[in-house]
Amino acid sequence: MAVMPTHEDDKRRRASSFLGREDLIRNKRASGRPKGLADLDVLEDE
């Protein structure tokens, strides 16, 4: 017998968090990935 997900299960699956702009810049710089470093050019010029 299948168990139907509850409303609470659904809320947990949709939970997310977001970085602020300064944290995003810090994370991209720390990653050292070429794409992240290229993104910095755009982010820092805004």
Mean pLDDT by 10 residues, the chain (46 residues): 68 73 94 94 87
Does the residue 13 lie in any domain? no
Does the residue 36 lie in any domain? yes
Does the residue 14 lie in any domain? no
pLDDT value at residue 17: 78
**Residue 25, burial from CB neighbour count under 10 angstroms (0-12, 13-18, 19+):** middle
In which domain, by residue range, is 42 found?
A: 19-46
pLDDT value at residue 27: 95
Radius of gyration of the chain (CA): 18
pLDDT value at residue 45: 86
How many domains are there within the chain? 1
